[in-house]
Chains A and B, each alone.
Chain A
Amino acid sequence: MRKNGFARHALIETLHTVQSSFGYLDDDAIRFVAHSLRVPLSQAYGVVTFYHYFSLKPPGKHTVTICAGTACYIKGADKLVASAEKRLGIAQGQTTKDGQISLMTARCVGACSRAPVILCDGQVAGEVTAEQVLEQLERWAVE
C-alpha cells in the first residue's frame, strides 16, 4: 500500500499482494484493505467477487490447475478435468476435505502451443495426458 502511496485506485494491486502472501482473501483482509485505502467495503468486496483471480477460500496444500482455454479444449482438456474430478471426488474449484489438493481451471495460461496444459503448484507442464494428471495426484495424495 505504501508503494502505491495508499492510492484508492491501487485497490486491485493491493488485493493481489495480500492474496499472494496469504493464498486467499478472508473477510478480515478485505476489511483491512478497504479501511486502509479509504474505499467503501462494498466496493472492495465487489471487486474481489468480480474478478476470477481472487479467491475467498483458502487453497489446498497443493493446487493442480487445468487450462480451459480454446486450444486446450480442442486437445481434450475436458477429459483431464473429468478424470481429476473422478479421482479426487470433488468438482473443479473445490479442495479435498483433508485440505491436501485443490482442483482449479484457468482461462488460458498462454502456453497454447503445448496444449493441453496444466499447472502443478504453478509449474507449467504441456502435452499432458489424463494418466500423467492422475500420477501427479497420487504422488500428492500419499505425501
Chain B
Amino acid sequence: MTIEELEQIQESVRAENAKFDYEVNVCMDLACASQGSEKLREALVKAAEASGKNVLVRRTGCMGPCSSGPLVRVDPEETLYKHVTAGHAEAIVSSLGGEPVPALQCDLNEHFDKQVRVVLENAGHIDPEKIDDYISREGYKALMTALLEMTPNGVIHRVTESGLRGRGGGGYPTGLKWSTVAKAGGDMKYVVCNGDEGDPGAFMDRSVMEGDPHRVIEGMAIAAYAVGASKGFIYVRAEYPVAVARLTTALREARRRGLLGSNIGGTTFSFDVEIRLGAGAFVCGEETALIASIEGKRGTPKPRPPYPAVSGLWGKPTLLNNVETYANIAPIVRNGGKWFANMGSERSKGTKVFALTGKITNTGLIEVPLGIKLWEIIDVIGGGVPGGHKLKAVQTGGPSGGCIPAEMLGLGVSYDALMAAGSIMGSGGMIVMDDTSCMVNVARFFIEFCMTESCGKCIPCRAGTAQMHTLLTRICEGTGTLEDLELLEDLCSTVKEASLCGLGQTAPNPVLSTLKYFRDEYIDHIVHKRCSAGVCNIEAAVEVLA
C-alpha cells in the first residue's frame, strides 16, 4: 500500500458514493440501537427501493445527541431527524429532493455550534465496518506519511509539539511518554491501548471503538513506528461486545489492505495488533494492573517505578495510552502539531470528548475545545436541567473525580482547573445532578464502588474504603455524629497518601469534594437528621433506633 493507492481507493469510494443522489445515515450506536434503529434501517432500505430513488442507506456510529435518538441524517443537505421509527421511513424517503419532514427535524444548532470535532469527525459519517469508508476520509494517510516521509523522532516531535496530554485521566504529556519508550533499549517493545473504560457513567471510548475503530488502530500503528514497537494489544472491556466485534473486523480489514502485518507500505516496519478482553475490574484501568491482566493474571497493580515505559508487558518497554489519545494521533500527524496546539487552553491543548449524562436535557456524546466554560457545556450544549429542577453539581472523573458545585459554572474545563477545584478531568464522564440528588449519598455510592473494586493488595485502600463506607452509611442513615465527620476527613487523607495505585489515591476525591462544597448537607444529616433531597431514608432509620 502506498499513498497513491490510498488515494485511488479514496477516489473510487467517492465515485461510488457520487452514484447516489442522497445519503441516509442511520445511527447504530447502543443508545439508538436499543430503540430499534436496525428495524428503522431495514425499513429505510425497503422504502428507498420502492421509491425508485437513488439512495444510499448507511449504518454509522454515534452522532452525538443520544437523547434525541434514534437519529437519522440525510446528506448532502445535512438534515438531522430525531426520534425516528420504522414508521417514518417512507415519509423521509419521499421527502428526499423536496422539503424535509418538519415534525421530525432535530433543531439542535446551538448544541452543535459550540462543538469542535476532531476525534469524532468520522463518527456518524462512515460505516465502521468498511475500511474504504475510513480511507475515503483521509484514513491511514497519516500512517503512510509517517512511514514514508518522517523519521520516528519526527513523529514524536510532532506529537510533543501538539501538547497532547493523556486522555485517560492522568493528563501525562503524550510526547514525553513516547520519547521515554523510544529511548528505552531492547529489541522487543509493545504498544498497548487501554479500552477498559471502567468509569461508570462514561462511554466515549466505546463510541470511538465502535464508530471509528480504524482511527484507533492507525494511531497505534503510528505510535509503534515512533517508539520502535512491532506488537500491539487493545485491551477492551468484555461488557462492550460490539466494540470487540468492530475492532476484530477492522483489524482483519487492515491486514487485508496491508496496513497491518509485515513490511507495511513496502517499508521495513512491521506491526500487528491483538485484542485482549477485560473481565470487569475497574482497577485494570491502572496501567500496571492492565499489563498484569494482559499477561493473564489477576489485575493487581505494582509499585512504580519501574514505569511501563521502561519495564512493562513481560518486562519489555511498553507504551500505554488511552483510546481517545490514540484517536487524536492521526489528525495531529496529518495537520501538524501547531494546528492541534492552536485549539484549547494554555496548558490543555486540543479537544476532549465528554459523555454528558444525568439530569440534563441533551444527553449524549460531545466534543469541545478544552478551556470551554462549564456553563457553556451545561446550559448551551446540554440544554440545561429538565423538569424545572435546579442544577446542584456536575460530577467529572468518575469514582476518582469530584463534584463541582453549580456556583462554579464559570470554571474553564482543563486538566489544571479541574484539579484545582478538587476534581479531575478523568476519562470524560460528566454527570449532571440536580436538587433531587443527595451529595452524601452520591459520595457513599462512589466509595461503595471503590470498596468493591479495590483489588485488596494494599491495606489503606482495602480497609480504608470499607471504613469510609461504614461512616458514610451511618451519616446517610442519620446515626452519624460530628466525630464521625472528623474521622472521615482523617481517613480520606490517609487513604489518599498511603495507597499504592491511582484507585486508592483518588478514591477519597468524591468525599473530599462533597465535604468541601456541600458540608451543609453532611451537617444536615448528622445534626438535623434531615436529607433535603429526600434520598436518604432517615426518618425510618431513626424511628427503628428509637
Q: Which residues of A contact B (CB under 8 A)?
A: 8-13, 15-16, 39, 43, 46-47, 50-54, 68-75, 106-115, 117, 123-126
Contacts and interface: CB of A to CB of B under 8 A. Distances in A.
A137 to B, nearest CB: 19
Contact of A110 (B206, B277, B278, B395): B206
Contacts of A117: 34
8 contacts: A47-B297, A69-B201, A70-B429, A107-B239, A107-B282, A112-B357, A113-B363, A113-B365
Interface string B437-455: 1000010011000000001
A74 B281 contact: no
B280 interface: yes
B391 interface: no
A13 to B, nearest CB: 6
Interface residues of B, number: 51
A71 B276 CA distance: 27
Nearest to B355: A112
Given A52-B281, A70-B431, A107-B280, A113 B298 contact: no
Nearest to A8: B296
B438 to A, nearest CB: 11
B295 interface: yes
A110 B203 contact: yes
A132 to B, nearest CB: 13
Contacts of B446: 70
A5 to B, nearest CB: 11
A42 B203 CA distance: 34
B30 A51 contact: no
Given A108-B200, A113-B66, A46 B277 contact: no
Interface of B: 30-31, 33-35, 66-67, 69, 197-203, 206, 238-240, 276-282, 293-299, 355-359, 363-365, 395, 398, 429, 431, 433, 437, 442, 445-446, 455
Given A47-B297, A52-B279, A113-B363, A71 B30 contact: no
Given A106-B239, A113-B355, 5 more contacts: A47-B298, A53-B279, A70-B431, A107-B200, A113-B31
B294 A71 contact: no
B296 A39 contact: yes
A72 B66 CA distance: 15
Given A107-B280, A111-B34, A74 B431 contact: yes
Given A53-B279, A106-B239, A112-B202, A70 B395 contact: yes
Contact of B276 (A13, A15, A46, A125): A13
A70 B445 contact: yes
Contacts of A68: 200
Nearest to B203: A110
Contact of B200 (A8, A12, A15, A70): A70
Contacts of A72: 200
A114 B198 contact: no
A51 B355 contact: no
Q: Which 3 A-B pairs have the closest CB atoms?
A: A69-B200, A51-B279, A70-B201
Contacts, number: 136
Given A13-B277, A54-B279, A43 B66 contact: no
Contacts of A52: 279-281
B416 to A, nearest CB: 24
B299 A126 contact: no
A111 B240 CA distance: 10
B386 to A, nearest CB: 12
A16 B275 CA distance: 13
B34 A108 contact: no
A74 B277 contact: no
A125 B34 contact: yes
Given A53-B280, A71-B358, A126 B34 contact: yes
A11 B363 contact: no
B293 to A, nearest CB: 7
A54 B359 CA distance: 33
Contacts of A114: 31, 34-35, 66-67, 69, 363
A117 B202 CA distance: 13
A39 B298 CA distance: 13
Nearest to A125: B34
A112 B197 CA distance: 13
A113 B364 contact: yes
Contacts of A75: 358-359
B280 A111 contact: no
A99 to B, nearest CB: 23
Nearest to A10: B296
A72 B299 CA distance: 26
A19 B137 CA distance: 39
Contact of A51 (B280, B295, B357): B280
A110 B239 contact: yes
A109 B280 CA distance: 11
A54 B298 CA distance: 13
A74 B398 CA distance: 13
Nearest to B242: A110
Contacts of B355: 112-113
A71 B280 contact: no
Contact of B197 (A47, A54, A110): A110
Contacts of A110: 30, 197, 202-203, 206, 239-240
Contacts of B363: 112-115
B284 to A, nearest CB: 9
